[in-house]
Structure 1
Amino acid sequence: MKKGKNIFPVNLAKKLGNEWSTLGLLLGLEWSQVNILRDQHSHNLLVAIQAMLQKWLDGAGDKSTEERKQQLISALRECGRVDLAEDIRSGRIADGCRLPAGATANLTTRMQTLTIQPSERETSSSQPAVYPVRSKVGHALIINNIKFPTVRGENRKGMKKDSTALAAVLQDLGFDVKVKIDLSSYEMKDAIRKFISKDHSQSTCLLLCVMTHGKEQEAMGTDWKGVGLHKDIMLPIIKSDNIPCPKVFIMQMCRGKKRDVGVQKVRWGVDSAAAVDAAAMEVKDDSDSDSSDEEQSTESVDWVEVCSKLAPTDVDYIVTWACAEEKVALRHPKQGSVLIQKVVEAFGTYGKEEDVATLFERVRRNVANVEGCLKEGNTEIKVKQSAQTKTNLLGKLYFKSSSSSA
């Protein structure tokens, strides 16, 4: 390759498939950039790939040709296309020149329209009642930020026990678990990118758990910089073409600064003797705000029922939050957080027989049964916590099949 020549392997675009968005992330594009390209060229896969490669080149102007080539080879290998990485390395895919200005847009009118292939999600005339149990349970990533050196008094004591206990129960269920401790905001985003790029094709599901301080719509890195809960953490996973399996999210963080002091009332269907744990927990609150909901614009559309292999984007995931909106999440300085303790109990006891939605229902019930005790000087304040679950699953999701050995 001649030095100074721009890499634009036009033939590469024709060989890439639905992994193109993962490749874009590995090349350094932001998820918002990839998502815009996906929306702009939703029915032209080849055009979307060409535009992604061009945007990468536009942002790599200070790199030499060889540096760009090595970056592309590395990204292809990491997203599972070792064959194409070798083709680039050996020169079997010839290097082309940078597309001239406007060429990407013009391709739309000159190229045959290519329909993006549907995901490998199980489909039928109606959505399945139960998601398929694959050959492996799947990958799990636990991010646990404990120490915050730039902000005095914000270290989260007791949280090391949470990630250790959760990792153990997930491994027992069959997950391939990675635990990341004390990540900066950049390192959190990088860990998400690498998690997306793993091979999820034979997984029953994936699981991501983030434990940290929360602030408005962000999860805090150890550098006290926020990572967007939807934009940077959940949406890249939900919308990734590389992940056909259902997604399970567990978010252990505050969603506001208000404390739930509880109310005196009898709850239907709950045994009053079991409404409060036998011993009240002495807890602390993780007092920075964290809201999961981003303000969305709405518009009215006409719709008809159609028979299609295309699946809606915002499905096949379930997320459980430690607390209700605007409220603080509770943790014990030695025992860990209330939510993760109850997740470990439920998954450890019932994870091989109950579906995930039922497991989280059990978690929410057990979290609600805990009564905490906050000490402020000589004053003790009793506090409660209410975990919340949002599910967009279209069927029951089990970690194990009914025939799996315990």
Structure 2
Amino acid sequence: MAAQKLMDKRIMFIEGANVSLIKGIVDDMLDLKVLNEGEKEEVIENNKVTRDRARSLIDMVRKKGNSASEKFLEKLLSRDHNLYTSMGLDDQSMKKAKSDLQETSGPQGTQSAGPETWLTLSTPEFIKSIQEKEADSIYEVFDKRERKRLALLINNVEFDNPKMKRNGAMEDQSQMKRLLEELGYRVDIHNNLSAQEVEQALKNFASHEDHKLSDSTFVVLMSHGLRNGICGKHYQDGDTDIFSTDKIFDIFNAKNCAALREKPKVIIIQACRGSENGSVWVSDSLPALSDDGLKKTHKEKDFICFCSSTPDTVSWRHPQEGSLLIQRIVEVFRQDAYHDHIEELFRKVQSRFKEFPLQMPTKERTTLLKKFYLFPGF
């Protein structure tokens, strides 16, 4: 039955598994002697795309029979409870393992995920406790039945210079789009823009009427980059076609974007801020070639900007799996957004770079005056 269950759920696993989950289960299967070293290499080394790895792994285990498939399901449950649940797996033989897992979930717990859930949801009890204990120190989160959350994602993949193509960037786009949608945002996506088009897309987004019914926004920019800007699709050597990231804060400040005044504005920038060469990982560095008439308020307030690297350093991206930053953001938000506010989530992302000394993401121009909880599911 377990082997048949894997067959029935294989598409959901292929679509939902991320790189770290696949590698973890492969190691588990190796320890349990379900797979050997050659089969491990076949899954990880012979497949460069995440979905291909997931497909190879589940099919390899499934063909080994029910015992191997049962072990696979046990490890899937222990490593990614959300995906396990969203796949509709509730085998009788797994109930004890699931019970043990839930007992260790902590006092805040997680809501029953349900068949459509991809990330851990906040429980009504936890939301109520935060809203009561920290009423004056958290940003208001609107009821999902009434709000209209919007997010903007600009991803430059193709450039006039074909050598500048950002391989792996579409994987970043797919993962970030899904994360934002699961958090309740409608995602406006633009690809391959010039610096002028980036600025216009930002202005158009900032003027959207639905922001009046939103409690927050995300703006994600992904491209090649320089010290203080990101590159448009026409970039060549020199200072042409560069969008200054300082303009983001002007476009969305309290004067120019009244609809988002007093609301959290999360800016994520995946781009290099200097130049350096890489080998196995592909660098995102460049190739060598007033008064509003109503009340006084801080002009630039309620922002948090998370950059993929510190000034003058590179940001790393795998040509198939995407950038380290986006991978880590998705992993942390899926696991911890149900109980952590945004600054703590970004701190946890930074902590995952401890063993990767070539890059350190950084929070900049953070002017949040309160804690911003996403409360997924609420």
For residue 235 of structure 1, report the CA deviation from its aligned partner. Answer: 1.8
From 165, 168, 171, the equivalent of 2:178 is 168
Secondary structure of the 2:334 match is helix
Contact 1:139 1:176 in 2 (8 A): yes
- The whole-number CA distance in structure 1 between the counterparts of 2:183 and 2:325 is 19
From 232, 248, 256, the equivalent of 2:266 is 248
- The whole-number CA distance in structure 2 between the counterparts of 1:128 and 1:223 is 47
Q: Corresponding residue for 2:302?
A: 316
Contact 2:266 2:304 in 1 (8 A): yes
Contact 1:323 1:388 in 2 (8 A): yes
Q: Corresponding residue for 1:277?
A: none
For residue 201 of structure 1, report the CA deviation from its aligned partner. Answer: 1.8
Calculate percent identity across the aligned residue pairs.
28
**TM-score, structure 2 length as denominator?**
0.56
Q: Corresponding residue for 1:46?
A: none
- The whole-number CA distance in structure 2 between the counterparts of 1:359 and 1:164 is 20
Contact 2:155 2:173 in 1 (8 A): yes
> Do structure 1's residue 196 and structure 2's residue 206 form an aligned pair?
yes
- The whole-number CA distance in structure 2 between the counterparts of 1:234 and 1:223 is 24
Instruction: Give unmatched runs, 5+ long, in structure 1.
Output: 1-126, 261-280, 290-307, 372-382
- The whole-number CA distance in structure 2 between the counterparts of 1:397 and 1:309 is 24
CA deviations 1:163-193 (Å, max 9, x no partner) are: 1111001101111111211112222122111
From 269, 284, 288, the equivalent of 2:286 is 288
Secondary structure of the 1:386 match is coil
- The whole-number CA distance in structure 2 between the counterparts of 1:202 and 1:226 is 33
Instruction: Give unmatched runs, 5+ long, in structure 2.
Output: 1-134, 236-240, 288-293
**Consecutive aligned runs of 4 or more in structure 1 exceeding 3 Å deviation:** none
**1:145-160 alignment to 2 at 5 Å?**
145-149=156-160, 151-160=161-170
Q: Corresponding residue for 1:398?
A: 373
Contact 1:173 1:351 in 2 (8 A): no
**1:220-239 alignment to 2 at 5 Å?**
220-224=231-235, 225-231=241-247, 233-239=248-254
**Structure 1 residues 128 and 310, CA gap change in structure 2 (3 angstroms):** farther
- The whole-number CA distance in structure 2 between the counterparts of 1:219 and 1:246 is 23
Aligned residues: 226
Secondary structure of the 2:266 match is strand
Contact 1:184 1:221 in 2 (8 A): yes
What is the one-letter code of the residue matched to 1:129? S
Q: Corresponding residue for 2:360?
A: 386
CA deviations 1:217-244 (Å, max 9, x no partner) are: 221111111111112x232112422322
Contact 1:258 1:326 in 2 (8 A): no
**Structure 1 residues 321 and 137, CA gap change in structure 2 (3 angstroms):** farther
What is the one-letter code of the residue matched to 2:249? M
Q: Whose radius of gyration is greater, 1 or 2?
A: 1
- The whole-number CA distance in structure 2 between the counterparts of 1:139 and 1:128 is 25
Contact 1:144 1:182 in 2 (8 A): yes
For residue 258 of structure 1, report the CA deviation from its aligned partner. Answer: 4.7
Secondary structure of the 1:282 match is coil
What is the one-letter code of the residue matched to 2:178? A
Q: Corresponding residue for 2:190?
A: 180
**Structure 1 residues 330 and 137, CA gap change in structure 2 (3 angstroms):** farther
- The whole-number CA distance in structure 1 between the counterparts of 2:215 and 2:148 is 5
**1:261-300 alignment to 2 at 5 Å?**
282-288=280-286
> Do structure 1's residue 355 and structure 2's residue 341 form an aligned pair?
yes
Contact 2:276 2:283 in 1 (8 A): no
Contact 1:212 1:253 in 2 (8 A): yes
Secondary structure of the 1:164 match is helix
